[in-house]
């Protein structure tokens, strides 16, 4: 039994990042570990205290929810309260039997937690749910242009690029935050980086210092085996996620119109009106609860992941495969790893609406979509991404870190390919 300190901005499932952190924390506690959950933003998910986890909550709003915009800006660059509280917590943890695992910091805790973790001398793991430790806007993506960004953080090219999804002045604030973290010792030094996919590892490789340790631990996929969905009798292709530029929602709307196939969008965002303009026949369902999303997946002919940015994992793709629904994925994003082309789905050239339309037409054939759906279901359930498998890999990493420090984690580890269905 070890002591695990998990850092996460939110104490509740505000999104995929927090959901994974909470599920992992509860799973580790059930396995007998002493788990501390260090967080900023309430409310506290009931699953945490129910699992016997000690929650340390700062009772602060996140950056977006803070009505005091000046306080939000300053605290986002350096959260002094978080640093002091974390330093006190880590000082009371057993020095030879504690691991610190950072899941989220960019929405409330700020870069201030990194020097505190290093100063503690404890082994630290950082899961890359996004790219914020290596890129000021967290995505390696130039949002106004809709293209991937090749620049290193805070380089001349980075600072000259207007890449933020909101406004140029917001990019400057993000750059200032990144600079604060860099001046305090950086985000990755002395830390093992947990990556979610091989594509993510390839994206970050040019931005890492020599010797940086990376560990492949894919996210858990919470899904049950209901058998293959009856895809041949389903008509609409499906998109699940935020309707935003980088997610490629408008691209899918245009491609579906070209292919003449019905399309349904589950989610909402700034691109909703553009989706309607490009495809007036498209159905927009808005955000739905998880059970309803599962029903949408099982009523879809195929799930499309048209993301223009790299992504980090591709949860929706794996959920579709688990339900025997073929997936069509951009060859630029991490979810491409989920696809065995021609067997469980298809890949298309990123940003190419005509090529995506070609894929949608191929899946209009009932026999073909049935074959792919059954193959997808079969392959996924050979080696599903269960929470137990996720925890097994996580505990393996913790044991190595405790026995020999972060350097011990640099030894042979299986790639994410070994974990794939």
Distance CA 258, CA 106 (A): 39
Q: What's the pLDDT band for 412 if we cut at 50, 70, 90?
A: very low
Q: What confidence score (pLDDT) does residue 415 get?
A: 42
Q: What confidence score (pLDDT) does residue 407 get?
A: 66
Sign of CA dihedral 318, 319, 325, 331: negative
Q: pLDDT per residue over 19-39, tens digit each? A: 999 999 999 999 999 999 999
386 Cβ contact list (under 8 Å, min separation 6): 220, 221
Q: What confidence score (pLDDT) does residue 309 get?
A: 96
**Strands in 293-417 per DSSP E:** 302-305, 327-330, 345-348
Q: What confidence score (pLDDT) does residue 269 get?
A: 95
CB 355 within 8 A of CB 347: no
Q: What confidence score (pLDDT) does residue 404 get?
A: 82
Q: pLDDT per residue over 188-217, tens digit each? A: 998 999 999 999 999 999 999 998 999 999
* Cβ neighbours, 10 Å, residue 413: 16
Q: Using alpha carbons, select from 371, 386, 368 the residue that is nearest to residue 322.
A: 386
CATH dotted code for 231-382: 3.40.50.2000
Mean pLDDT value across residues 67-93: 98
Q: What confidence score (pLDDT) does residue 1 get?
A: 79
Q: Domain limits of the chain?
A: 3-134+187-220+387-419, 231-382
pTM of the model: 0.93
Calculate the average pLDDT of the chain.
Answer: 95
Domain made up of 3-134+187-220+387-419: CATH architecture? 3-Layer(aba) Sandwich (3.40)
Mean pLDDT value across residues 4-32: 97
Intrachain domains 3-134+187-220+387-419 and 231-382 with the same fold? yes
Distance CA 325, CA 383 (A): 17
Q: What confidence score (pLDDT) does residue 405 get?
A: 67
The token pair that represents 390 in the structure block: 């996720």
In the chain, pLDDT over 70 holds for what percent of residues? 96
Q: pLDDT per residue over 358-401, tens digit each? A: 999 999 999 999 999 999 999 999 999 999 999 999 999 999 99
- pLDDT of 119 > 60? The answer is yes
Mean pLDDT value across residues 411-415: 44
Q: Using alpha carbons, select from 263, 245, 226, 224 the residue that is nearest to residue 356.
A: 263
Selected residue with higher pLDDT from 15 and 73: 73
Pairing status of strand 141-142 against strand 147-148: antiparallel
Q: pLDDT per residue over 137-189, tens digit each? A: 999 999 999 999 999 999 999 999 999 988 899 999 999 999 999 999 999 99
- pLDDT of 241 > 90? The answer is yes
CB 6 within 8 A of CB 37: yes
- Residue 290 main-chain phi, psi, to 5 deg: -55, -45
Selected residue with higher pLDDT from 405 and 111: 111
DSSP for 4-65, please give it: EEEEEEESS-SSHHHHHHHHHHHHHHHTT-EEEEEEEE-PPPTHHHHTTPEEEE-----TTT
Q: What's the pLDDT band for 414 if we cut at 50, 70, 90?
A: very low
3-state secondary structure of 196: coil
3-state secondary structure of 339: coil
- pLDDT of 410 > 90? The answer is no
Distance CA 176, CA 308 (A): 26
Sole residue written with tokens 């002493």: 34
CB 303 within 8 A of CB 320: yes
Q: What confidence score (pLDDT) does residue 293 get?
A: 96
Q: pLDDT per residue over 101-118, tens digit each? A: 999 999 999 999 999 999
Mean pLDDT value across residues 46-56: 98
Q: pLDDT per residue over 293-321, tens digit each? A: 999 999 999 999 999 999 999 999 999 99
Which residues on neighbouring strands pair with residue 35, listed in sequence order?
Answer: 4
Q: What's the pLDDT band for 417 if we cut at 50, 70, 90?
A: very low
Distance of CA 184 to the CA centre of its chain: 26
- pLDDT of 351 > 70? The answer is yes
Q: What confidence score (pLDDT) does residue 166 get?
A: 87
Distance CA 390, CA 384 (A): 10
């Amino acid at each position: 039994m070890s002591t695990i300190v998990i850092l996460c901005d939110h104490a509740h499932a505000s999104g995929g990042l927090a959901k994974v952190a909470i599920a992992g924390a509860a799973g580790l506690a059930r396995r007998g570990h002493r788990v501390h959950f260090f967080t900023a933003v309430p409310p506290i998910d009931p699953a945490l205290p129910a699992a016997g986890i000690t929650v340390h909550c700062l009772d602060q709003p996140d950056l977006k929810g803070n009505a005091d915009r000046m306080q939000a800006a300053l605290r986002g660059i350096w959260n002094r309260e978080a640093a002091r509280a974390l330093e006190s917590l880590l000082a009371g943890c057993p020095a030879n039997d504690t691991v610190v695992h950072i899941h989220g910091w960019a929405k409330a805790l700020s870069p201030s937690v990194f020097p505190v973790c290093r100063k503690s001398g404890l082994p630290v793991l950082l899961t890359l749910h996004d790219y914020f430790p290596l890129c000021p806007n967290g995505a390696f993506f130039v949002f106004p242009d809709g293209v991937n960004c090749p620049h290193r953080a805070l380089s001349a090219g980075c600072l000259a690029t207007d890449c933020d999804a909101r406004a140029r002045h917001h990019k400057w604030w993000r750059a200032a935050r990144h600079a604060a973290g860099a001046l305090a010792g950086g985000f990755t030094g002395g830390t093992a980086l947990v990556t979610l996919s091989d594509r993510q590892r390839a994206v970050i490789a040019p931005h890492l210092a020599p010797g940086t340790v990376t560990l492949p631990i894919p996210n858990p996929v919470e899904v049950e085996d209901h058998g293959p969905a009856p895809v041949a009798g389903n008509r609409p292709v499906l998109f699940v996620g935020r309707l935003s530029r980088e997610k490629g929602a408008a691209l899918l709307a245009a491609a579906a119109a070209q292919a003449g196939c019905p399309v349904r969008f589950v989610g909402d965002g700034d691109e909703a009106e553009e989706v309607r303009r490009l495809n007036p026949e498209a159905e927009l369902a808005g955000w739905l609860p998880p059970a309803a999303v599962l029903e949408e997946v099982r009523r879809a002919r195929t799930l499309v992941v048209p993301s223009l940015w790299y992504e980090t994992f591709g949860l929706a793709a794996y959920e579709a495969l688990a339900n025997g629904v073929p997936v069509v994925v951009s060859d630029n994003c991490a979810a491409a790893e989920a696809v065995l082309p021609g067997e469980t789905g298809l890949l298309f050239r990123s940003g190419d609406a005509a090529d995506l339309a070609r894929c949608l037409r191929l899946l209009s054939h009932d026999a073909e979509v049935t074959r792919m759906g059954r193959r997808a279901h079969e392959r996924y359930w050979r080696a599903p991404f269960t929470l137990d498998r996720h925890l097994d890999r996580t505990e393996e990493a913790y044991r190595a870190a405790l026995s020999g420090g972060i350097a011990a984690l640099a030894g042979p580890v299986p790639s994410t390919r070994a974990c794939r269905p």
